[in-house]
Structure 1
Amino acid sequence: MEDILRPIYQERASQSNTLGVMLIEKKQKSSQITDTFDVILLIIVKEADRPLFIKHYTYSNKKAAMHVIAESKLQEWLLLGTNRKIFEWIHEAKILFDRNEYVANLKTELREFPFNGRKIKMGLEFAKLIRRYVDGKALFEGKQFLDAYNHVVHSLHHLARLAVIENGLHPELTVWHQVKQIEPAIFKLYEELVNSEETLEKRLELLFLASEFMIHSRTNIGTAHLLDVLSRKEYWLFNEIMNEIELIPYSVDMAVLLEYLIEKHLLDVVNVETKGHGVFHRCYQVNKKLS
């Protein structure tokens, strides 16, 4: 298989822009790691006009896909977790070409999962968790139980991913299998939500109570990255927070997260005068007791 595809990847490997070429083979008939393809050629390039370029091939009654990924897009996926299969691909891949040990170092970094990388990813998962939890609770209080259920399932998923990252692991596609081993209490919450014979209203009511405790116990670790960035200035306008390069990935969840942190007394609101009489800029400051 590798021999048949060699002309395709050798052409890419000869280009100075190419950082690495990897091959991922489908090992079991039922495996979805390769998206139904028999093999994936994963090529990482330094720069590209398009961040992702994909080609499909057929050979000997088999099919292959070539994914050419710009380094910036790869780093985005690894940070935000928006393409969860990429972790599995890199972990399982056979290295066909590696410029200056780029791929080998990438594999080591993913395996060791440096603490700073974990801190940022925990912050992003916590922000998504709070968004889902707050929206779900509002729907529950409005007696929109089916919509509340949808949000709660997602919030539990983010809580599960947060727990996995906290334990120094990357969340996999089978995150509930991971959580069952390392955080059985979260897994039990999920089982009770899905399998309980109680009414949906009662299940949600019990789950919100239990989730509140679990979220509270992870607030410090889940907000460490955000509070660390915000502590660098006396106070921030909201637009300054949204445009701070390290905080851009929080994007749509930021407003809800800030309100949650104010409620928990981790952030304070600072009113700064404007030209309008009685109108103030609403600014945000890390609670000085935390400093």
Structure 2
Amino acid sequence: MEDLLRPIYQERASHRNTLGILMVEKKLNNPAVTDTFDLVLFVIVKEAEQSVFIKHYVSNEQKASLYVVDEKQLNEWLLLGSNRKVIDWVLNGKILFDRNEYVYGLRKRLLEFPKESRQLKMGIEFAKLIRRYMDGKVFFETKQLLDAYNHVIHALHHLARLAVIEQGFYPEVTVWDQVKQIDPQIYKLYEELLESEETLDKRLELLFLASEFLIHSRIGTGTAHLLKVLNEKKGAWTIGEITEHPELKVYSVDIVIMVEYLVERNVLSVEEVPTKGQGIYHRYYVAEKN
């Protein structure tokens, strides 16, 4: 199949806009990495009219997929973790073309995982974790157990990804294999949720109690990036200033509930500033100094 696709990637390599080309073959133990295709050609370009362009090929009953992705989209995926397969492709794919060692530098950056990048990714995962945990708790308290279960499953995934990032690794598609080695306590919680013979009500009750402790223990690492940004400015912030800050926009809507969680935990304090309306105040937020 690679021989048949050679003219395709050679033609792509001839474009000055192409930064790198990788080939990823299907893994028998994890075909999901290539979306069950036998082979993926992953082409990274500097700029493109479409941020993601995909083509499918077939030959002798073998399937291949071509991805052409611009640099901006790739960096967004790597930052937000919204396409985890791509991390596997960049780290483990066979390099077919590498302009000025672009792919080599990208791999080096991923493997070194500098502190600034780790802090930002931990902040994003922590915000998603709080969102799922808080929403799930509301569903549990109102006896909507299946919705609560769904949110707890997602919360545990974010907790698992956070634990992996804390140790300096990028979460992979098979994140639970990573967590089993890195943080067995979280893995055990996941097993108990799925396999326990307790009633769903009891399982969720125990999970929320255990999760509360694990989340609280990660406030320091999960909020380091946010607090760093907030402490760059003296004084208080409005929620609008927080959500619109260039470095915090990537948290998306999850930052609102994260802020409320941190107020409840006395990590952020609230200042009330009078408005023109009697008895109505603006709510400002201030990072508590350690």
Q: Match for 1:60: what amino acid?
A: N
Q: 1:119 — aligned with what?
A: 119
Report the CA distance between 1:30 and its aligned residue. Answer: 6.2
Give the conservation status (yes or no) of the 8 Å contact 2:21–2:41.
yes
C-alpha distance after superposition, 1:218-247 (max 9, x if no partner): 111111001111111222111111111111
Alignment pair present for 1:71 and 2:71: yes
Report the CA distance between 1:278 and its aligned residue. Answer: 3.4
Distance 1:100 1:30, change over 3 A: closer
Distance 1:178 1:10, change over 3 A: same
Q: 1:28 — aligned with what?
A: 28
Q: Match for 1:70: what amino acid?
A: D
Give the conservation status (yes or no) of the 8 Å contact 2:45–2:70.
yes
Report the CA distance between 1:213 and its aligned residue. Answer: 0.9
Separation (CA, whole Å) in 1 of partners of 2:128 and 2:262: 14
Q: Match for 2:260: what amino acid?
A: E
Which has the larger displacement, 60-69 or 1-10? 1-10
Q: 1:276 — aligned with what?
A: 277
Percent identity of equivalent pairs: 62
C-alpha distance after superposition, 1:86-127 (max 9, x if no partner): 011112211111111110111111122222111111111111
Give the conservation status (yes or no) of the 8 Å contact 2:239–2:284.
yes
Q: 1:97 — aligned with what?
A: 97
Separation (CA, whole Å) in 2 of partners of 1:206 and 1:47: 49
Separation (CA, whole Å) in 2 of partners of 1:29 and 1:183: 23
Separation (CA, whole Å) in 2 of partners of 1:209 and 1:250: 26
Report the CA distance between 1:271 and its aligned residue. Answer: 2.1
Q: 2:139 — aligned with what?
A: 139
3-state SS of paired residue (1:270): strand
CA RMSD of aligned residues (A): 1.5
Separation (CA, whole Å) in 2 of partners of 1:133 and 1:278: 33
Q: Match for 2:127: what amino acid?
A: A
Separation (CA, whole Å) in 2 of partners of 1:153 and 1:30: 21
3-state SS of paired residue (1:67): strand
- How many residues in Structure 1 have an aligned counterpart in Structure 2? 289
Q: 2:162 — aligned with what?
A: 162
Separation (CA, whole Å) in 1 of partners of 2:162 and 2:142: 28
Q: Match for 1:271: what amino acid?
A: E
Calculate the TM-score normalised by the size of structure 2: 0.95
Distance 1:29 1:269, change over 3 A: closer
Distance 1:126 1:37, change over 3 A: same
